[in-house]
């Protein structure tokens, strides 16, 4: 069933007159949006988006603030490729600004790897890409030469979980977690469920493992407190497939 959503151009006076009570700050350019030689413009745009978003906490009507962040924030100061990227640096600053404020209850929903049917660039994310490949008849191709480990949670469920906690007056940092899966096993599971085959590059022991996930217990704790059971990996695959435009 289709829904209509009003998208309003940003206007400070309009936002204030609307008197929001809960603010969800999602706006941030991701690394793939940075054009060659455009690092300064990219950084300035994200800084402006962050300033606008964080400023909403000062409105007298606001009772809670949620920042959607990224696991990239944890890479700053490491040897990871994104460690010095303006995106990771901005995410780190946003998290610190959000968590160090006592103005209103504030939650950082730090997403690492998420699934779901509303991915706008499925080819850029392994989970969505695998599902779309399978729905098109396969095969599901895995090109990674090394070991790749991820934890997936449905994006909508993760946002709802953290937003519900915020609405109840909770503050803090919640890392997305979920079932730990190696990318080749993920491809095999997608193929099994959706009736496709797999073509995977052999895993090379000479390639450094890609370990991008969190072991934080916070998400599971919040889910238990709210009496919520999050989708397992098979349910996430089926839900993503049902909402895919390719399944027609």
pLDDT digits (tens, 9 = 90+) for 170-223: 999 999 999 999 999 999 999 999 999 999 999 999 999 999 999 999 999 999
Give the per-residue pLDDT at 245: 55
Model confidence pTM above 0.85:
yes
Q: What is the pLDDT of residue 247?
A: 43
pLDDT at 1: 64
Three-state SS for 88?
helix
**What is the reported pLDDT for 7?**
86
- CA-CA distances (angstroms) from residue 89 to 154, 163, 247? 26, 24, 38
**pLDDT given for residue 130 in this prediction:** 97
What end-to-end distance do the CA atoms of the chain give, in Å?
15
Q: What is the distance, to the nearest Å, from the Cα of residue 91 to the centroid of all Cα atoms in its chain?
A: 12
Residue 97 structure tokens: 């600004």
Residue 16: which of 55, 67, 66 has the closest Cα? 55
SS3 of the chain: helix, strand, coil, percent, to 5: 45, 15, 40
Report residues of the chain scoring pLDDT below 50: 246-248
- Of the candidates 162, 151, 150, 131, the residue with the CA atom closest to the CA atom of residue 240: 131
Whether residue 134 has a cis bond before it, omega within 30° of 0: no
């Amino acid at each position: 069933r289709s829904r209509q959503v009003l998208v309003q151009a940003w206007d400070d006076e309009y936002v204030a007159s609307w008197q929001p009570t809960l603010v969800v700050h999602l706006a941030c350019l991701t690394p793939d949006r940075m054009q060659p030689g455009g690092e300064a413009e990219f950084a300035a745009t994200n800084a402006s988006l962050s300033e606008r978003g964080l400023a909403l906490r000062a409105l007298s009507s606001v009772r809670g603030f949620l920042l959607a962040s990224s696991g990239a924030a944890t890479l700053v100061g490491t040897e990871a490729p994104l460690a010095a990227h303006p995106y990771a640096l901005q995410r780190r600053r946003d998290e610190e600004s959000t968590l160090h404020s006592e103005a209103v209850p504030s939650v950082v929903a730090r997403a690492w790897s998420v699934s779901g049917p509303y991915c706008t660039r499925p080819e850029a994310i392994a989970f969505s890409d695998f599902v779309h490949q399978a729905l098109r008849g396969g095969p599901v191709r895995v090109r990674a030469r090394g070991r790749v480990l991820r934890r997936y949670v449905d994006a909508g469920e993760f946002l709802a979980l953290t937003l519900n906690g915020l609405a109840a007056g909770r503050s803090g940092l919640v890392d997305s977690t979920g079932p730990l899966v190696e990318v080749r096993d993920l491809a095999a599971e997608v193929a099994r469920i959706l009736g496709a085959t797999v073509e995977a590059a052999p895993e090379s022991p000479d390639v450094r493992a890609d370990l991008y996930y969190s072991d934080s217990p916070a998400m599971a704790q919040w889910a238990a407190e709210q009496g919520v059971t999050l989708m397992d990996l098979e349910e996430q695959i089926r839900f993503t497939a049902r909402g895919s435009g390719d399944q027609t």
